Amino acid sequence: MLNTADENRRRHDLHPDHPVWLFGYGSLIYKADFPYLARRPASITGWARRFWQGSHDHRGTPDKPGRVVTLIEAPGMVCAGMAYRITPDVFEHLDHREKNGYLRFRTPLTFADGDLADGLVYIATEDNAAFLGQADEQAIAEHIARSEGPSGSNRDYLLHLAKALRELGALDEHVFRIEQFLLAGND
């Protein structure tokens, strides 16, 4: 199942008058192409960001998918990102944007100031058809270097994400090592 938009609509019964928090850990950190009521740095615990999801619709094509991030369970790890307070009608756009294998899950959020809240997050689990899985970080960088799709180059996705994480003050060894390999390959 590549298109998960319909499944996401069925997963959560959201009241139209009750805004919810959405946690972003990939392009949602730096590309908020949707209306929101508030935006706050946040993190979730027990998850690690990994470039293990295929992108057939944004940073690649059906024949040559790019690589984008998803979350992998990782006890004790903290994944930094950005939380957005949104009205439920915004999910119409987001479910389409994240349709390539991502499902919405509930998650506890911790904001940078220590406040806590419950929210939703999109995760592409390993049982979705677009999941590419684990690979050597240099091989991931090489894959990213040659991938492009309707939303632009996969290279730009990686570089924008790395920059956004630095601006948050977040350390992500996986993302930064892939970035190093990508940039070294251009020398």
Active site residues: 98
Tokens encoding 144: 């990213």
Q: Helix H segments across 65-153?
A: 91-97, 137-145
Q: How far apart are alpha carbons 168 and 83 in whole angstroms?
A: 12
Q: How far apart are alpha carbons 144 and 156 in whole angstroms?
A: 9
Amino acid, res. 66: G
Q: How far apart are alpha carbons 85 and 34 in whole angstroms?
A: 11
